[in-house]
């Protein structure tokens, strides 16, 4: 275990005893949702994970320490501080740690710290991917590279069409990352259950997902696995409404010259403004849905498949 890492005692004990643990990211708290809904959501997610038999481990960087497992006070702090916390991807870790700073972890850094702490399963809302226009901007999220390299299973609701979903799937294929649809053969597009793109495999139970991940690990294959879980029907949005909002948000971002790490948070906030908060409710519901599935997969992985 490296000397920059703090695993909270409950998480550490669960990992050591081979019990189910689910990692959670903190960029979704500080950059993905407004206060106070962000804190309320993060605490509810932890509760849902417990109700489904696993231990939650929300991950962040606090005072330069890599934290696996936060207290409710630490979650409140990240939610209240919001965008003022550095959005921390892989390239940010060395300086943040050396300078004793705080960082909200993206999918990338959450996977990294989960892996350091021995946690194998991670639940979030949406992942980063290949942005529209990446042919010229080269804006490809570090999340995809992390999925290619780090052995953590990520449960998400697919990717938002702020991204180029076709190119995102191509990238994952090239890097050997299995893209699983939970109960669907179509890639969900976060706010909607459909995207027009196919996943690699449809698996219908947490046990089947756990078995595939177990096989990947036991063969010693590099990299993670992406499980895409469609938003429940009752919370999904009208595709025309959401796609119009996304197109408008992208036009605004181009006009305002937004680039680099600011792009994703900018687009997420714009889409929320344009849809008047409906998208926030959907976003919260799909995160709960993913937390539940991740806890079930973690339980299957530990219960039936671990030594
Ligand atoms: N997509 C979402 N919600 C999010 C993010 C992406 O629908 O909160 C966050 C995640 O933390 C993800 C990060 O890892 O944005 C990707 O940022 P970038 O595109 O700059 O790599
Ligand atoms: Mn980017």
Cβ of 255: how many Cβ atoms within 10 Å?
A: 8
227 closest CA partner among 277, 276, 300, 284: 300
Nearest alpha carbon, ligand 1 atom 16:
128
Determine the Cα–Cα distance for residues 153 and 297; give it in Å rounded to an integer: 9
| Upper half-sphere CA count for residue 307 (Cβ side, 13 Å) | 5
Whole-number Å distance, alpha carbon 263 to ligand 1 midpoint, is 9
Ligand 1 atom index nearest CA of 131:
19
By residue count, the chain amounts to 307
101 is catalytic: no
Residue nearest to atom 10 of ligand 1 (CA): 106
Residues in contact with 144: Cβ distance below 8 Å, sequence separation at least 6, in sequence order = 127, 128, 129, 130, 168, 171, 172, 175, 177
- Residues with CB under 6 Å of ligand 1 are 25, 27-28, 32, 106-107, 125-128, 141-143, 160, 190, 261, 264, 268
Residue 83 Cα to ligand 1 middle (Å): 13
Per-residue pLDDT of the chain (307 residues; tens, 9 = 90+): 689 999 999 999 999 999 999 999 999 999 999 999 999 999 999 999 999 999 999 999 999 999 999 999 999 999 999 999 999 999 999 999 999 999 999 999 999 999 999 999 999 999 999 999 999 999 999 999 999 999 999 999 999 989 999 999 999 999 999 999 999 999 999 999 999 999 999 999 999 999 999 999 999 999 999 999 999 999 999 999 999 999 999 999 999 999 999 999 999 999 999 998 889 999 999 999 999 999 999 999 998 654 4
Residue in 34, 78, 143, 146 to alter for ligand 1 test, most ligand atoms within 8 A of Cβ:
143
Cα of 267 from ligand 2 centre, angstroms: 12
Q: What is the pLDDT of residue 307?
A: 43
Atom of ligand 1 nearest to the CA of 32: 8
Interatomic CA distance for residues 192 and 279, integer angstroms: 11
CA atoms within 13 A on the CB side of 177: 27
Contact assessment for residue 153 and residue 38, using Cβ atoms and an 8 Å cutoff: no
Query: Which one of 25, 46, 146, 300 is the catalytic residue?
Result: 25
Are 290 and 157 in contact, with CB atoms under 8 Å apart? yes
- Rounded Cα distance between 180 and 193, Å, is 14
Distance of CA 67 to the CA centre of its chain: 17
What number of CA atoms fall less than 13 Å from residue 92's CA on the CB side? 22
Q: How far is the CA of 188 from the centre of ligand 2 (A)?
A: 21
Catalytic residue flag (residue 25): yes
Options 67, 87, 120, 160, the catalytic residue: 160
Q: How far is the CA of 144 from the centre of ligand 2 (A)?
A: 11
* Residues 297 and 227: beta-carbon distance below 8 Å: yes
CA atoms within 13 A on the CB side of 285: 17
- Ligand 1 atom nearest to 139, measured from its CA: 19
Determine the straight-line distance between the first and last CA of the chain, rounded to whole angstroms.
21
Q: From the alpha carbon of 190, which atom of ligand 1 is closest? A: 7
Q: How far is the CA of 139 from the centre of ligand 2 (A)?
A: 5
Atom index in ligand 1 nearest the CA of residue 27 equals 11
Neighbours of ion ligand 2 (CB under 5 A): 139
Could you tell me the pTM of the whole model? 0.97
Q: Indicate the top mutation candidate among 23, 26, 27, 171 to test ligand 1's pocket, ranked by most ligand atoms within 8 A of CB.
A: 27
Q: Write the burial class of residue 121 (CB in 10 Å: 0-12 exposed, 13-18 middle, 19+ buried).
A: buried
In the DSSP assignment, the letter for residue 236 is P
* Contacts (Cβ under 8 Å, ≥6 apart) of 35: 79, 80, 82
């Amino acid at each position: 275990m490296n000397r920059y890492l703090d695993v909270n005692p409950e998480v550490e004990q669960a990992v050591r005893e081979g019990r189910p643990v689910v990692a959670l990211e903190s960029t979704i708290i500080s950059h993905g949702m407004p206060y106070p809904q962000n804190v309320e959501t993060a605490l509810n997610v932890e509760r849902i994970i417990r109700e489904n038999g696993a231990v939650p481990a929300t991950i962040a960087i606090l005072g330069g320490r890599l934290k696996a497992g936060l207290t409710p006070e630490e979650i409140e702090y990240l939610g209240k501080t919001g965008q003022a916390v550095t959005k921390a991807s892989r390239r940010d870790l060395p300086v943040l740690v050396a300078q004793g700073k705080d960082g909200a972890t993206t999918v990338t850094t959450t996977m990294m710290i989960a892996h350091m702490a021995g946690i194998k399963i991670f639940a979030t809302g949406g992942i980063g991917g290949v942005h529209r226009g990446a042919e010229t901007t080269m804006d490809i999220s570090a999340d995809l590279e992390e999925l290619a390299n780090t052995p953590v299973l990520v449960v998400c609701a697919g990717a938002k069409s702020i991204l180029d979903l076709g190119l995102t799937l191509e990238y994952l294929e090239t890097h050997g990352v299995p893209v699983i649809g939970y109960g669907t053969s179509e890639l969900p597009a976060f706010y909607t259950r459909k995207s027009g793109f196919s996943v690699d495999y449809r698996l219908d139970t947490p046990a089947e997902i756990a078995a595939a991940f177990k096989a990947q690990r036991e063969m010693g294959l590099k990299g993670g696995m992406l499980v895409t879980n469609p938003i429940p029907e009752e919370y999904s949005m009208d595709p025309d409404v959401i796609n119009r909002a996304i197109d408008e948000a992208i036009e605004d971002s181009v006009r305002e010259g937004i680039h680099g790490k600011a792009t994703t948070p900018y687009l997420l906030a714009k889409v929320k403004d344009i849809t008047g908060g409906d998208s926030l409710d959907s976003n919260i519901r799909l995160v709960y849905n993913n937390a539940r599935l991740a806890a079930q997969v973690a339980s299957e992985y530990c219960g039936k498949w671990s030594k």
